[in-house]
Structure 1
Amino acid sequence: MSNDQIITLAHGAGGEAMQQLIDKLFLKAFNDKPLRQKEDQARVPLAELHAKGNRLALTTDSYVVSPLFFPGGDIGKLAVCGTLNDLAVGGAQPLYLSAGFIIEEGLSLTLLEEIVYSMAKTAKEQGVSIITGDTKVVERGMADKLFINTTGVGVIPQSIQLSAANARPGDKILVSGFIGNHGATVMLARDNLGLHSDLQSDCAALYPLINQLLLQHTHDIRCIRDVTRGGIGGVLSEIAQASNITIELDEVALPVRSQTRGICELLGLDPLFLANEGLAVFVVGPQHAETVLQLMQQHPLGQHAQIVGEVTAFSINHLHLKTRYGARRIVNVPYGLQLPRIC
Structure 2
Amino acid sequence: MNQIAPTGEFIYTYAYTDDEESLCHLEMRSFFVIDTRSKILKSSINIIPSRSPFIKERIEVLFEGDELSDILKQVEVVKMESTFKVLFVKINDLDTTKKINYQQKREIEREIGLIIEGEADVHHPDITFGLIPYEGRWYFGKHMKSEAIWLRHLKKPREYSTALSTRVARAVANIAVPNPHGIKAIDPCCGIGTVLVEALSMGIDIVGRDINPLVVLGSRENIAYFDLTGEVDLGPIAEVSTNYDATIIDMPYNLYTHATPEDQLSILKNARPFTKKLVLVTIDNIDHMLEEAGFTIIDRCIAKKGVFSREVVVCQ
Asked if TM exceeds 0.5, the reply is no
Question: Which structure has the bigger radius of gyration?
Answer: 2
Using CA pairs below 8 Å that are at least 6 residues apart, which structure has the higher relative contact order? 1
Q: Output the TM-score relative to the length of structure 1.
A: 0.28
Taking structure 2 as the reference length, the TM-score comes to 0.30
